Amino acid sequence: MTHYKSKPVNDKGFVEWSSEEDSIWHDLITRQLPLVKERACKAYSDGLAMLNLPTDRVPQLPEINQVLVEKTGWQVEPVAALISFDKFFELLANKRFPVATFLRSREEFEYLQEPDFFHEVFGHCAMLTDPDFAHFTHVYGKLGMQADAKQRVYLARLYWFTVEFGLVEESGSTKIYGGGILSSPGETLYALDSQDPLRHRFDIQTVLRTPYRIDIMQPVYYKIHDIKSLYQLSELDLMEQVAQAMELELLPPLFEPKEMTHA
C-alpha cells in the first residue's frame, strides 16, 4: 500500500504541480544528472538529451510524449499510485508506459519504495527512445498479458534484472541502463563503484531463477552484451524459458529475509 495519491490530469494531459513539487524535482534531477553522466549507457544518455527534461520544474506528460511517439511510437500514461499487474501488462502491450503522477515528499527524498514520477520519467523514459529497448518492453507486456499468476512471478524477475536494474557492456566498460539504478543516487554509485555486489554475465535461466528484494541495494546485477541484446532476447520463446525455469529450483537468495513485524 502507499500513502501517495496521483494528481489529476486535465483534458490536455497536464498536471498542476505545486511550487514545492517543482523544487523537489529540481533538487532530484540536479543531484542525479552529474552521477549518471559517465555511468549511464549511450542509449540512455542520447535519450535524455532528446527528452531535454527541464530542471526548474516538473515536466509535463505531453512534452515527453512528443519525443517518445516520434522515436519509437511509445507514450507515457498517467496512472494511480499503484496499479494491478493486469493493467501494467496491458499498458506495456499497447506501448503505454505507466507513470504515477505523484512526486515523493521531502521526508522521503532519499529513498522511496514505490515508483514516483521522478523514477518513472528520469529513470525509464530516456531508454524508451531506443528502438531495441522499446521493442523488448513491448514484447514483455504482450507476454505478461497472456501469462498466468505463477508465470508472471518469473517474468517479474526478468523485468527486474533488465528494465529496472540492468547493466550493459559498452566499449570495454560496464554502464547502466536500468531505471531503478539511474533514478537512485545511492544505487548509481553502488552498482558500478562498490566492491560488494556481484556483476554476472546475463543468462536468461539464471535471471529467471534469481530471487530479489525491492527494499535493499541489489546484491547481484546482470550485464548484457549490448542494448541490441534486448531485442534478441525478445525474439526468443521466453515463455518456454519460463517453463524451463519453473521446473528448476530457485537459486539461493543472496540476502537476508526481510524481518517480519507483528502488531
Task: Give the β-pairing of 198-201 and 220-224.
Answer: parallel
Which one from 124, 184, 187, 229 is the annotated catalytic residue?
124
Task: Give the β-pairing of 75-79 and 173-176.
Answer: unpaired
Cross-strand pairs, 82:
none
| Residue 120: count of CB within 10 angstroms of its CB | 20
164 a catalytic residue: yes
Does 119 count as an annotated binding residue?
yes
Does 26 count as an annotated binding residue?
no
Which one from 6, 21, 77, 119 is the annotated catalytic residue?
119
Which one from 21, 77, 164, 170 is the annotated catalytic residue?
164
124 a catalytic residue: yes
Which one from 183, 184, 229, 234 is the annotated catalytic residue?
183
Does 235 count as an annotated binding residue?
no
135 a catalytic residue: no
Contacts for 254-263: CB closer than 8 Å, 24+ residues apart: 254/198, 254/211, 254/219, 254/220, 255/211, 255/213, 255/216, 255/219, 258/213, 258/215
Residues tagged in the binding site annotation for Fe cation: 119, 124, 164
Residues tagged in the binding site annotation: 119, 124, 164
Residues noted as catalytic: 119, 124, 164, 183
